[in-house]
Structure 1
Amino acid sequence: MFIGIDVGTSTVKAAAFDRSGAELGVEARQIALTMRGGAVEQDMDEVYGAVVAVLDALTDRLPGPVELAGLTGQGDGVWLVDGAGRPVRAAVSWMDGRAHGLVDQWLADGTFEAVYRRTGGAVFPGSPGPLLAWLDRHEPAALDAASAALYCKDMVFGRLTGAPPGTDVSDASMPFLDPRTRAYDNGVVELLGLTHRRGLLAPVGDPITTAAARGEGLPAGTRLANGPYDLPACALGAGVTEPGDGLLIVGTCLASLVATTDLDLSGEPAGLHIATDRPGHRLRAMPAMVGTAALDWVLSTTGVAHGEVDALLAATPPGAHGVRVLPYFAPSGERAPFVAPGLRAELTGVSLESTRGDLVRATCEGIGYAARHCLEAAGLTGTLAVCGGGTRSPAWTRLLADVLGRPLRVVEGEVGARGAVLAAAERFGVPLDTARWTRPTAVVEPDPARADLYAEGYAAHLSRLVRARARTGNRPGRS
């Protein structure tokens, strides 16, 4: 067996695969997010406990030895640990908005753009640079007590293996990594006022970060590889490796990724350039802050169950009877394909005649428009794969194909876990048939008439967005 571990924002999963890539079983556990006053945090012990629980449950019910395992997980945020690898405080999530003011300040004084021009990463409130700077100002004792500021999967890897603090080039890409040298840019550390905290940054493995499990969750001695984090892991799991090809992940985060060998740091500073295990190869990423989380909020607010979504989409025509949604629901605003910490969601065109179906369809359409904006900015020219929880809705997947105006290669199952295994196999020199492992389960073609209608809707969406950004004081950019 090959096991992939995916430590997501709200769910921890472990999936087992055979040598052909067939999924043998999946175990999942929900983990909590604590939200208050713009702060979004997670209990590290709860997260790690969920990892051990899913691994115990999975390995107990599946026969055969575990040949190797790969680990991936949510990116960004700050996971402070002490010298023993234990939590110093709760993990600060990538969804956290407390550093909003710092990012606004850096946008105004040029720091934001200076960092982007050096690293290709646009800092946002939930990225490690602003969060460390915020903690340095407001909770210096926590940083004093920490020996390392890790990313999620790095914390889990250290506790599973006992390995010293470390990370891989993908997680390190935001916001301190020089994409040319694949090492930390100390000039960026200085720009963000963190030179005196430089020692907290975990050493970067390029690309080998591997160890043997200690016997907690995985059998003792199991070979385990750390990274890449969830976005590039999903790209691997979906077979998106050729320049120009793209992936849309319809998950909590709406992530648009395009494989590239180029490094163009001109244009509006937004998104990031994610380094991969192959030097010279990277992913141009536009990870919008909110994907399925926006729809979840609308469903909860209107009392609609997830199982009703397809029927409501079928009952409401394209255009949602004039209801429109700008889907910027995150407390930290937006980060792709532009950075606007103060931007918030807008619902317009609602009347007493509007139905729950109108609100649901308008939200799904708004998320689709945001995805199209991100994919265009990322430079999509080739095929497009799609994965994530949102693709479990056939009606929403068809709607996305229409809004995007292109065929979608649907990749089902635990795509991030699959990519984690493929990365681990590459690092350990275990040959696997990657084409077979990443074969799409379906191809959804757009309807030409609806695609034309949505092309007009997309233009109107961009116009509304320009006005919304102007109202929040964020200058509309060139994307």
Structure 2
Amino acid sequence: MYVGVDVGTSLVKAAAFDAGGRPLAVESRPVGLSFRAGLVEQDMEEVYAAVAAVLTALTAAVPDPVELVGLTGQGDGVWLVDGEGMPMRAAASWMDGRAHELLGRWQADGTFEEVFRRTGGAMFPGSPGPLLAWLDRHEPGSLDSAATALYCKDMVFERLTGVRATDVSDASMPFLDPRTRTYDDRVLELLGLTHRRRLLPPVGDPLPVGRTLGGGLPLDTPIANGPYDLAACALGAGLTGPGDGLLIVGTCLAALVATTDLDLTGEPAGLYISTDRPGFWLRAMPAMVGTAALDWVLSTTGVRHDEVDALLDAAPPGANGVRVLPYFAPSGERAPFVEPRLRAELTGVCLESTRGDLVRAVCEGIGYAARHCLEAAGLKGSLAVCGGGTRSPAWMRLLADVLGRPLRVVEGEVGARGAVLAAAERHGIALDRAAWTEPTAVVRPDPGRAAYYTGGYEDHLSRLASARERARH
């Protein structure tokens, strides 16, 4: 069997597949996030323990020999470890907002734009550049004593194998030159981090590989580290042709478009993710909040997840005038623009508004944000969709209407599939990619509703422009 491990922000999963890509079993464990005054952190020991637990349970449930393991996980943030790969402090999450003032200064003095023009990555508060610079100013001791500033999956990989390395996809933000596929020392200089260069892990190109030392897997099992979750989902959803796109409706709402054109002009936003294919990138617009926005509305209104479809079907397009700008993250928004102080807005509510109106309004708002991201990323071809949001058929119908295009729905553990496909290619194992990435459904838009939502999208952009202006003042 082939095993893919996906170390998500709130859930760690391990999935087993046979050689044809058919799922054999999935194990998952939740992991916590700590929110405090703009700081969002995770306990690295808890995350690694969850990885070991899902792997132990998976190999017990499916006793077939493990042929190969692929590893993926959440990107960005800062995961400081010592020379043995052990945690030096809590990990700063990609959702963290502590560096927003520092980022604001970089936006004002041109540093932010210059970094984008060099790397194709628009920094946001939870990306490694601002976080490392903040720690250098406020917690220099933690950096002095650390051996490496890793990404999430790299921390797990080092604990499983003893190998210290990242891959080109995770390294893409914000220090990697996408043309040379090596760290750009000028970027470190611009961010005041030249003296911290030693903390950057070696970039494995192609993917770093190793053999397991334990952690719930048989000793000496071959494992590949990466790509990180956005790029892994692109592989798992069959995204291979330039112009084709993927929308990940998960905690983070991520829009990806495959491209062979490295265009570093235009508004600095999102990033170019380098892949194992030189000259082939993923233009990524990873918005800060996806299903997390819906989860907040559900918890606030007392609606259960199994009630969502019925509520969506009962409320009409436009949600009876209720409208949501879905920018709920404490660190603002990062794609398709960077606005650290932007916050969510809920308008049009009255005593006649229902829970269904609120649920539909936030789902429509997320759909408009997705359309904005996909347009900015340059979508021209087909569109696949994956992530937890695909479990709601009503939301998929709504998304197809808002986006005005068919959706190739790819369900299951798409990131884990992509991690296995990447690991197999790295190890020279031939797998049938078409079979592994076959969509489970195609959802087509209703022409009438799609026309309605074209007007709704223009209204969304107008309200967003006003909200961004207020956030700056």
Question: Deviation at 1:344?
Answer: 0.2
Match of 1:408 in 2: 407
Match of 1:64 in 2: 64
Give the partner amino acid of 1:23: P
Distance 2:324 2:64 in 1: 50
Distance 1:55 1:92 in 2: 25
Give the partner amino acid of 1:176: F
Distance 2:14 2:240 in 1: 24
Distance 1:262 1:339 in 2: 22
Alpha carbons 2:72, 2:226 under 8 Å: kept: yes
Query: How many aligned residue pairs are there?
Result: 473
Distance 1:156 1:50 in 2: 10
Question: Deviation at 1:125?
Answer: 0.1
Alpha carbons 2:207, 2:227 under 8 Å: kept: no
- Tell me, which stretches of 5 or more residues in structure 1 are unaligned? 475-479
Distance 1:218 1:193 in 2: 41
Distance 1:215 1:48 in 2: 12
Match of 2:276 in 1: 277
Match of 1:477 in 2: none
Q: What SS does the aligned partner of 2:361 have?
A: helix
Distance 1:26 1:76 in 2: 25
Q: Does 1:29 align with 2:37?
A: no
| 1:153-205 Cα distance to aligned partner (Å, 9 max, x none) | 00000001111x21000000000000000000000000001011111000101
Q: What SS does the aligned partner of 1:211 have?
A: strand
Give the partner amino acid of 2:336: P
Match of 1:460 in 2: 459
Match of 2:124 in 1: 124
Match of 2:109 in 1: 109
Alpha carbons 2:270, 2:337 under 8 Å: kept: yes
Give the partner amino acid of 1:124: F
The residue correspondences of 1:5-20 to structure 2 (distance < 5 A) are: 5-20=5-20
Q: What SS does the aligned partner of 1:432 have?
A: coil
Question: Deviation at 1:376?
Answer: 0.2
Q: What SS does the aligned partner of 2:86 have?
A: coil
Distance 2:297 2:207 in 1: 42
| 1:222-266 Cα distance to aligned partner (Å, 9 max, x none) | 100000000000000000011000000000000000000000000
| 1:310-355 Cα distance to aligned partner (Å, 9 max, x none) | 0100110000000000000000000000000000000000111111
Q: What SS does the aligned partner of 1:181 have?
A: coil
Identity %: 78
Q: What SS does the aligned partner of 2:26 have?
A: strand
Distance 1:395 1:416 in 2: 23
Match of 1:327 in 2: 326
Give the partner amino acid of 1:59: T
The residue correspondences of 1:409-448 to structure 2 (distance < 5 A) are: 409-448=408-447
The residue correspondences of 1:187-266 to structure 2 (distance < 5 A) are: 187-266=186-265
Give the partner amino acid of 1:213: T
Q: What SS does the aligned partner of 2:174 have?
A: coil
Q: Does 1:139 align with 2:116?
A: no
Distance 2:411 2:108 in 1: 43
Question: Deviation at 1:208?
Answer: 2.9
Q: What SS does the aligned partner of 2:429 have?
A: coil
Match of 2:152 in 1: 152
Match of 2:182 in 1: 183
Question: Deviation at 1:215?
Answer: 2.3
Distance 1:218 1:265 in 2: 42
Match of 1:162 in 2: 162
The residue correspondences of 1:291-440 to structure 2 (distance < 5 A) are: 291-440=290-439
Q: What SS does the aligned partner of 1:446 have?
A: coil
Give the partner amino acid of 2:248: I
Structure 1 vs Structure 2 CA RMSD: 0.6
Question: Deviation at 1:17?
Answer: 0.2
Question: Deviation at 1:473?
Answer: 1.2
Q: What SS does the aligned partner of 1:287 have?
A: strand
Q: What SS does the aligned partner of 1:419 have?
A: helix
Question: Deviation at 1:64?
Answer: 1.3
The residue correspondences of 1:36-47 to structure 2 (distance < 5 A) are: 36-47=36-47
Question: Deviation at 1:207?
Answer: 1.3
Alpha carbons 2:319, 2:357 under 8 Å: kept: yes
Distance 1:10 1:216 in 2: 20
- Tell me, which stretches of 5 or more residues in structure 2 are unaligned? none
Q: What SS does the aligned partner of 2:256 have?
A: strand
Q: TM-score, normalised by structure 1?
A: 0.98
Give the partner amino acid of 1:84: E
Give the partner amino acid of 2:421: L
Alpha carbons 2:207, 2:226 under 8 Å: kept: no
Question: Deviation at 1:3?
Answer: 0.1
Question: Deviation at 1:217?
Answer: 1.0
Match of 1:469 in 2: 468
Distance 1:262 1:66 in 2: 38
Distance 2:260 2:470 in 1: 37
Q: What SS does the aligned partner of 1:171 have?
A: helix
Distance 1:377 1:443 in 2: 24
Give the partner amino acid of 2:397: R
Match of 2:77 in 1: 77
Distance 2:358 2:51 in 1: 36
Distance 1:349 1:35 in 2: 30
Distance 2:369 2:289 in 1: 10
Question: Deviation at 1:279?
Answer: 0.4
Distance 1:35 1:290 in 2: 15
Q: What SS does the aligned partner of 1:395 have?
A: helix
| 1:366-421 Cα distance to aligned partner (Å, 9 max, x none) | 00000000000000000000000011000000000000000000000000000000
Give the partner amino acid of 1:354: S
Give the partner amino acid of 1:470: E
Alpha carbons 2:122, 2:338 under 8 Å: kept: yes
| 1:29-82 Cα distance to aligned partner (Å, 9 max, x none) | 000000010000000000000000000000011021000000000000000000
Question: Deviation at 1:216?
Answer: 2.2
